[in-house]
Amino acid sequence: MQRYNDWLRQAERNLKSAEVNMQYGLYEEACYESQQAAEKAVKALLNFYHL
């Protein structure tokens, strides 16, 4: 399996965690998880394009 799939899977987990945190009013944690999801998605793209 390609490494970019690993990064995407991790990003999806972070995004789901952010959504749950939002539902419970944990906004600081939701922001953190959202940032982590975005960072990992960018890493997936960079890895996919070998940059």
Torsion of CA 27, 18, 35, 8, to 10 degrees: 180
The number of angstroms, rounded, from the C-alpha of 18 to the middle of its chain's C-alpha atoms is 9
What is the distance between the alpha carbons of residues 26 and 33, in angstroms, rounded to a whole number? 11
Is the distance from CB of 33 to CB of 14 less than 8 angstroms? yes
The pLDDT assigned to 5 comes to: 96
User: Looking at residue 1, what is its pLDDT?
Assistant: 58
Taking only the tens place, the pLDDT of each residue in 1-51 is 589 999 999 999 999 999 999 999 999 999 999 999 999 999 999 999 998
pLDDT of residue 21: 99
The angle that helices 27-48 and 3-23 make with each other, rounded to 10 degrees, is: 160
